Amino acid sequence: MEIVYVYTRRRSEFGRPCSFSDRPAKVNVDIPPDPTAASGFILRNPVDSCVQHVSDMSVHEVNTERVEVESHGINHVEGGWPKDINAQEVEQTIRFRKKVAKDENYINTIVHLGALMEHCVKQNNAIDIYEEYFEEEELLEMEDEPPSAKTINVIRDPNITKRTATQLSWHPNTCRKLAVAYSSLEFQRNVKDMSFDSYIWDLENPMKPELVLKPFSPLVSLAYNPKDSHVLLGGCYNGQMVYWDTRRGGLPMEVSTMEFSHRDPVYGAIWLQSKTGTECFSASTDGQVLWWDIRKLSEPTETLVLDITRKGLLENALGAVTLEFEPTMPTKFMVGTEQGIVIACNRKAKSPPEKITSTYSGHHGPVYGLARNPFYPKIFLTVGDWTARVWSEDIKESSIMWTKYHLSYLTDGCWSTVRPSVFFTTRSDGTLDVWDFLFKQKDPSLSLKVCDEPLSSLCLQEDGCIVGCGSQLGTVTLLEISSGLCTLQRNEKNLVNAMFERETKREKILEVRHREMRLKERARLEGQGMEAEERPAESPQDVLERTRREFFEVIQAELQKRGQAGTQHP
């Protein structure tokens, strides 16, 4: 479309045509140079001046589309036979072979090649050149190389509408496969054409998922059965439990019935240790923890209502956001709730109120990550709001160690499987932090910006070297951590043990002290209550004086205690 504007004017209205004429040059201004201005400058000798005669080039970056690679096999059929011989006819081939065998050239060549080959075979038989020669020298001192991590692979959600990668689970034995659950956790933000599929990826082929799991509702949590690596358990957004057998394809084998399932997305689904290997349990924000047997998903085998007042009322129940189970302690498990409380439960208690053994509160927001230390099961890590906290099971009042408050909130965390003092946390600004409590306690040892969008989940491979992080846009990044962070150092177990014990003791002392103070307060209040009428009203000044005195006393006591604990630091 052309935009044209036409100006018209009559020629007679233009005015007289200009007539140009030449005239000699005329000097208008003449400014002579002023030598006094030179005093403001210094003569520079020599002067560096760069001259280059090169053609001008410009830089342009191009990112090609990812190349789709497919593996094909070739079926070798015998070929190369001369034209007159039919390869199928055994007689003809035998005849040909015999003819070749009599050929003189053939004989010479074979003899020559045979000698050569014999030489190499004898070499092989004599010395094994690939054997381990210097075995003792493997104990290289780990130099203080700075910890680092490398991205080895990035797996993107192939759908157009990206969903959050809510949970990752590594294949139990091979660790070459990763199952990722995708769903959109935004409340009521389900776009109509958002697909429900979750994928199992093979690390060799990050372009195309190895298996597509098609549930009836998006999966929020996903777990491989540690005993049977073909079976996967999934918890859906609508509260149902599903399980798959990868040998049978992507459709679920069985789905739990709607009436008995959860009413809210199933945030935690974990397999249990059992002889049959078919038991699992799940937790959701509707406040229930349900136990299932895979063979009969029509109703749960057991239920527990997360009511900390121990009355079993669903209205008082706290919503569960994470679930934790340690195979070495099969009857106990822990649940992290939306309200910031971690509940430790015992499955084998005799009555439902007894099931909840203890609660630990300390987070201001939902507890997104909950993990026990694989080496010290009494110590567990909780990740929620803006901090990560380390707790000891014995101390119920507060955590024994905690990180500083970050700027963005933490979304998930887990311990390293090889080093007891290392754990990982993910943040909502897309950063992965690796903490090493033995090395540095105030800051993470390694802080990596993985992507721009928030990271939503984290899963460490069993050998402790590769960690997968899932982000809000469905991108799963696989990182390999430097060996310094995933090999057990000498003496580490002892040091970590000592550190945990020290912190536990400190907390215990504080707890005892608090209790004492509270008892004293209570006694004093009771005493005061009896003399309430006779006591003269204290003027505000006196109250202030008294409180200030008490405050300083408490501080002094604390400092002394801290001093004692400090002298025990190694």
Partner 1 sequence: GIPVRTTLDNSTTIQYAGLLHQLTMKARRTVRYLDPQNDLTFLRIRSKKHEIMVAPDKEYLLIVIQNPSE
445 DSSP assignment: S
- Looking at the DSSP assignment, which residues form a beta bridge with residue 425? 413, 433
x/- site string to partner 1, residues 300 to 339, per CB under 8 A?
A: ----------------------------------------
Which structure tokens are listed for 72?
């094909």
In Å, how far from its chain's centre is CA 36?
A: 72
**What value, to the nearest 5°, has the Cα angle with vertex 141 and ends 138 and 143?**
135
Q: How far is the CB of 116 from partner 1 (least distance, A)?
A: 5
Q: Which is nearer to partner 1, 114 or 353 (CB)?
A: 114
CA-atom Rg of the chain in angstroms? 38
- The answer to whether the Cα torsion of 409, 320, 281, 246 is positive or negative is negative
Tell me if 20 contacts partner 1 by CB under 8 A: no
The only residue of 4, 62, 77, 407 in contact with partner 1, by rule CB under 8 A: 77
Stretch that binds partner 1, among 72-80, 169-177, 434-442, 490-498 (CB under 8 A): 72-80
95 vs 515, which CB is nearer to partner 1?
95
Looking at beta carbons only, is 35 or 73 nearer to partner 1? Answer: 73
Name residue 396's amino acid.
Answer: K
Give the per-residue contact string, 191-210, with partner 1 (x = CB under 8 A; - = no): --------------------
DSSP per-residue string spanning 72-124 = -----------TTS-TT-HHHHHHHHHHHHH-HHHHHHHHHHHHHHHHHHHHH
Residue 76 touches partner 1, criterion: CB under 8 A = yes
Give 43 or 77: the residue with its C-beta nearer to partner 1.
Answer: 77
Three-state DSSP at 213 gives strand
Under the criterion CB under 8 A, does residue 97 sit at the interface with partner 1? Answer: yes
Alpha carbons 56 and 67: distance in angstroms, whole number: 32
By C-beta, is 121 or 207 nearer to partner 1? 121
- In the complex with partner 1, which residue's Cβ is closer, 125 or 541? 125
Residue choice 86, 109, 173, 528 for contact with partner 1 (CB under 8 A)? 109
Out of 38, 89, 101, 550, which residue is the one contacting partner 1 (CB under 8 A)? 101
Residue span 112-141 as binding mask against partner 1, x where in contact by CB under 8 A, dash where not: xxx-xx--xx--xx--x-xx----------
Q: Which helix (H) or strand (E) holds 41?
A: none
C-beta closer to partner 1: residue 15 or 80:
80
Question: Looking at beta carbons only, is 38 or 100 nearer to partner 1?
Answer: 100
Q: Answer for the pair 290, 313: CB distance below 8 angstroms, yes or no.
A: no
- Which range touches partner 1 (CB under 8 A), out of 9-17, 73-81, 295-303, 431-439? 73-81
Please state the closest distance from residue 136 (CB atom) to partner 1, in A. Answer: 19
Alpha carbon 121 to its chain centroid, in Å, reads 50
Contact residue for partner 1 among 24, 32, 79, 570 (CB under 8 A): 79
- Tell whether residue 105 is a contact of partner 1 (CB under 8 A): yes
Give the max Cα distance, the chain.
131
Provide the minimum distance between the beta carbon of 71 and partner 1 in the complex, in angstroms, as a whole number. Answer: 15
* Cα-Cα-Cα-Cα dihedral sign, residues 346, 351, 352, 358: negative
252-to-167, 294, 419 alpha-carbon distances in Å: 18, 12, 37
Question: 328 in the Ramachandran plot: left (φ > 0), alpha (ψ -120 to 50) or beta?
Answer: alpha
Smallest separation, CB 273 to partner 1 (Å): 34
80 touches partner 1 by CB under 8 A: yes
CB of 100 to partner 1, least distance (A): 5
DSSP conformational letter for 315: T
The single-letter code of the amino acid at 92 is Q
For residues 93 and 87, is the Cβ–Cβ distance under 8 A? yes
Q: Are strands 241-245 and 254-255 parallel, antiparallel or unpaired?
A: antiparallel
Nearer to partner 1 among residue 78 and residue 533 (C-beta): 78
Pick the closer one to partner 1 by CB: 36 or 71. Answer: 71
Task: Tell me, by CB under 8 A, how many residues bind partner 1.
Answer: 25
| Residue whose entry in the numeric block shows the structure tokens 């104990």 | 139
Tokens of 194: 């958002």
- Both tokens of 208, joined, read 């195309």
Identify the CA nearest to 172 among candidates 198, 200, 149: 200
Asked whether 471 and 456 are in contact (CB, 8 A), the reply is yes
| Segment contacting partner 1 by CB under 8 A, of 76-84, 232-240, 309-317, 520-528 | 76-84
Q: Supply the minimum distance, in Å, between the C-beta of residue 204 and partner 1.
A: 18
Least gap, CB of 103 to partner 1 (angstroms): 9
The region of 20-28, 70-78, 461-469, 546-554 touching partner 1 under the rule CB under 8 A is 70-78
Chain positions contacting partner 1, by CB under 8 A? 76-81, 97, 100-101, 105-106, 109-110, 112-114, 116-117, 120-121, 124-125, 128, 130-131
